[in-house]
Amino acid sequence: MKGRMGNPLHLKSLNHISRLCRSVKESIDFYQDVLGFVPIRRPGSFNFDGAWLFGFGIGIHLLQSEDPEKMPKKREINPKDNHISFQCESMGAVEKKLKDLGIQHVRALVEEGGVQVEQLFFHDPDGFMVEICNCDNLPVIPLVGEIARSCSSLNLQTMQQMQPVLQPERAV
């Protein structure tokens, strides 16, 4: 097996995710009003409809589907489906807001070593799942090394510096 390099592509951070939409307007309203993202300027050289939003250190790029009717319809909320997750300060406040907005959601609880993480899952207007959690309660523990941190204070560069360089395994 090859040795692992800590950051072979010299990545710095997550920049954005892109979401294909039935209606860019409806999706802008959702990401602004429900999640608190802010619309930002998008390059005018694009020859397709879309919008850019920014918040919490990442961008969301909304792209208008060329054939909205052929996009998959919302499915049952399944916490094991593809999703993006956001940490929050108050799970109670989030659940109240979702109820006030009439947004269907599913609760889940993860327990590990006496630590509990609450999760709320719901769909955006196009059926893409969003998770809100208090995941900061669960420490991030690398499989190699001794360092443990919470999600919000995780520093990739520090972890990489602390991680020993693995040597290739030799055939016996």
The residue assigned the tokens 């602390």 is: 162
- C-alpha dist (Å) from residue 3 to 141, 143, 167: 20, 15, 5
For residues 97-126, b (16+ Cβ closer than 10 Å) or e, as one string? ebeeeebebeeeeeeeeeeebbbbbbbbbb
* Residue 163 near residue 149 (C-beta atoms within 8 A): no
From 135, 26, 20, 128, select the one nearest 77 (Cα to Cα).
Answer: 128
Of the listed 76, 95, 118, 131, which one is catalytic?
A: 131
* 131 part of the active site: yes
> Which residues are known catalytic residues?
131
